[in-house]
Amino acid sequence: MEKVIITGALLRKMIISGANYLEENKEYVNSLNVFPVPDGDTGTNMSLTMKSSVKELNMCTSNDMEAICDAISKGALKGARGNSGVILSQILKGITSYFNNLKEIKTSDFANALIEGANVAYKAVTKPKEGTILTVIKAMANASVKIAKKETEMEGFLKKVIDIGEDALSMTPELLPVLKKAGVVDAGGRGLLIILNGFLKIVSGDESELKLMAETDKVGGNENKVLANGMNPELVDYNSLGDIEFAYCTEFFVININKKTTVADIDKLRETLMTLGDSVICIGDLSLIKVHVHTNQPGVALTHALKLGELNGVKIENMLEQFRALKVQSDNQELKKIGVVSVCAGEGLANLFKDLNVDYVIEGGQTMNPSAEDIAKAADSVPAENIFVLPNNKNIILAAELANDLSKRNIFVLPTTSIPQGISAAIRIDPEISVEENKVNVDETIKGVISGSVTYAVRSTTIDGFKLKENDIIGLGEKKIVTKGSNVSKVTEDTIEKLMTDEVSTISLFYGNNVDPVDAGALVDKLKEKYPDIEIDCHEGGQPLYYYLISLE
């Protein structure tokens, strides 16, 4: 076996290979989501985190180990999305912090770096849970020191470390009962092992995964060539854009979808948009697709979308001009004490948060978690000393906490795990009192909110006592499935009944973009008849994938 020493140039290739191998397998990782709901996004979040590292590497013109490690860590931090992406970014942070001062990496160095990666990742999570990606990285790290003493060749070392990881992954259902019930292993752990297998390909001499996005993407007919060492020789100079890398906020719908268009084509459009810019949202089905992207080439984005169907509701905003206006405004305006940033998906929900004096609404949530950088940029755009962030999704909280390292503002994350909690929190925030008083008040408020939702099963499985078939309508509480059926309104009614307590005085419904307002109105009438002493209101949420979001207070 040929002895391989990892240099900065080879580490660059390993990250690229790991990112691409994960991208190829992200849908498989997504399919390991415990709940059979249409927003399993562990693979997507981890892939976007890795892609952000690759993007930063493309901007790095040196193969010096310190420069390479800085790019990997910085890129992962910026792009960290969801709990899995944040934990992955911390693993990479720990690994690269150990590599940082080395000229070349031996197996013993890699072992020590894995230990540091595991330590940093565990510290990033307030209450580490075994049976997750943390268990897998810890098992590999603990075994790697002993392996390195016998294996001085990197290929043999990585193979044995990955074998340990596979054993640890196979045990995750025994450590986390919810995995065992769902009949799956931990998705984050699987994603991590896929990345390491990408590393192994390079170490073993297989560079087939080095089809770097900047190497294969053709934008506007011009190929962005990459040198053999992975460096981009023609870097775009964005210095003149100030803090804005992509100038045009581009939004539109694709309607009257072509008969030949498939779901895979929608995924391909999303991936293409990611090469054109950032803050990408591409959601929908074969009846309607909604697109949002920040890019310097809005025309190219529109051209690619036209291959799928007709365009409607096109809106292109020059963020440079907005930035200049905001800069003039902020230069002449004193910062207020408290500002609020909220995350949600759906125009109706966004408008509702704005009506509640939220300063900035980040479009995202289920299926497309905003990155730490997205949240930091939103916070920086608000003229306030202190920014409250409402994640409204448990999978966004860690990324929101990381945003504080990237922002010029003081960010305080209010741990809202659902849209109903976020709305109640927004109502309770008082800009006239202190940050600490607000945190106490909001914490008290969200404890009194019972959240539910109604969606559909994406696979057949048995979970929480229900034998589900694909496309069954399912009602969820905050932690488990509570009912199923074939009729959306009936399942919504049954879900409310399951979640109801004697203390509930208000029921609020937020209907999604695939619910007829007439049907929503009929459901409200039925609920008012069933619960005459309870105040019931209904709002157009416009959220994708979820027929109804439910709030009981």
Given the DSSP bridges, would you call strands 461-463 and 481-485 parallel, antiparallel or unpaired?
A: unpaired
- Spatial distance between the Cα atoms of 418 and 182, rounded to a whole number of angstroms: 23
What's the mean pLDDT in 138-150? 95
In the predicted model, is pLDDT for residue 18 greater than 70? yes
Of 274, 409, 401, 403, nearest to 330 by C-alpha is: 409
Work out the mean pLDDT of the chain and round it to a whole number. 85
Q: Which class would CATH give 451-552?
A: alpha beta
Taking each helix axis from N to C end, the angle separating 187-203 and 42-58, rounded to the nearest 10 degrees, works out to: 40
H helix count then E strand count, the chain: 20, 18
pLDDT in tens, 493-531: 999 999 999 999 999 999 988 899 999 999 999 999 999
Q: What is the rounded distance in angstroms from the CA atom of residue 308 to the CA atom of residue 285? A: 11
Residue 39 is predicted with a pLDDT of 59
pLDDT of 221? 30
DSSP characters for 253-281?
Answer: EEES--TT--HHHHHHHHHHHHHHEEEEE
pLDDT over 60 (residue 240) = no
536: which DSSP letter?
A: E
Answer for the pair 244, 505: CB distance below 8 angstroms, yes or no. Answer: no
Distance between CA atoms of 191 and 540, rounded to whole angstroms? Answer: 36
- Sign of the Cα torsion 376, 382, 384, 387 reads negative
The residue type of 351 is N
> Identical fold at 8-214 and 245-318?
no
Q: Which residue has the tokens 């013993």?
A: 108
What does the alpha-carbon distance between residue 136 and residue 171 come to, in Å, rounded to a whole number? 9
Q: What tokens appear for 480 in the block?
A: 């488990």
Amino acid found at 327: K
User: Any idea where the domains of the chain sit in the sequence?
Assistant: 8-214, 245-318, 334-446, 451-552
CA angle, 273 as apex, 272 and 277 as ends, to 5°?
A: 125
* Amino acid 144: pLDDT: 95
Confidence of residue 450 (pLDDT cuts 50, 70, 90): very high
Does position 231 have pLDDT exceeding 50, yes or no? no
Q: Is 464 left (phi over 0), alpha (psi -120 to 50) or beta?
A: left
Quote the CA–CA distance of 542 and 544 in Å, as a whole number: 7
Band the pLDDT of 324: cuts 50, 70, 90. low
| Tens digit of each residue's pLDDT (9 = 90 or more) over 339-392 | 999 998 888 898 899 989 899 998 876 557 888 888 998 998 898 999 999 999
Question: What are the tens digits of pLDDT across the range 22-69?
Answer: 998 988 888 887 766 665 688 888 998 999 999 889 888 888 999 999
Alpha-carbon gap, residue 410 to 338, rounded angstroms? 10
Which of 540, 551, 445, 547 is closest to 505 using CA atoms?
551
Neighbours of 175 (CB within 10 A): 15
Q: Which helix or strand (DSSP H or E) is residue 223 part of? A: strand 222-223
Tell me, what DSSP letter sits at residue 465?
Answer: T
Contact present, 316 and 295 (Cβ < 8 Å)? no
Match domain 8-214 to its CATH number in 1.25.40.340, 1.10.4080.10, 1.20.58.100, 3.30.360.10. Answer: 1.25.40.340
CATH for 245-318? 3.30.70
Res. 333 pLDDT band, cuts 50 70 90: low
CB 353 within 8 A of CB 304: no
Closest CA to 369 of 143, 132, 108, 82: 82
Whole-Å CA distances, 379 to 238, 328, 422? 22, 17, 17
Q: From 322, 326, 306, select the one nearest 314 (Cα to Cα).
A: 306
| Average pLDDT rounded to a whole number, residues 254-278 | 88
**Which CATH superfamily does the domain covering 334-446 fall into?**
Phosphotransferase system, mannose-type IIA component (3.40.50.510)
